Amino acid sequence: MKKIGTVILILLIFIGMGFSYIQYKKSNVKKSVTKYLTTVANLPGDKNWMVSIKLKNDDKTYYYYKSKNKVILESYVENGVEHVQ
C-alpha cells in the first residue's frame, strides 16, 4: 500500500510539473507578445500605451489604445500617410 501511495504521489508531481510548465510558457508568450505590440508613444494619458496592428493583405497599419474599457482607433497609416481619427 505504501508503494502505491508513493507511485501516485510521484505521478501527481509529474502531472503538476507538466501543468506548471505549460502555464509558464503561456504566460511567457503573452508577456512577450504584449511587450512586442505595445509601444510608448509619448502621448498624454491612455494614448501613451498604443498597439500597432498590421493585417495580412492590408496595406494599412492601425494604431489603437484602450480608454475606459473601450479600444479606440487613434490613427492609421496608408501609403505612408497618417490619418488621425
pTM of the model: 0.45
**Which range among 7-21, 22-36, 69-83 has the greatest average pLDDT?**
7-21
Average pLDDT for the chain: 82
Q: How far apart are CA 19 and CA 31, in angstroms?
A: 18
Tell me: pLDDT of 60 over 60: yes
Asked if 75 and 82 count as a contact pair (C-beta separation under 8 A), the reply is yes
The whole-number pLDDT of residue 50 equals 76
What are the distances in angstroms from CA 39 to CA 2, 9, 35? Answer: 56, 46, 8
Provide CB contacts within 8 A for 53, sequence distance 6+.
37, 61, 62, 63, 64
pLDDT digits (tens, 9 = 90+) for 18-53: 999 999 999 988 888 777 666 556 666 666 677 888
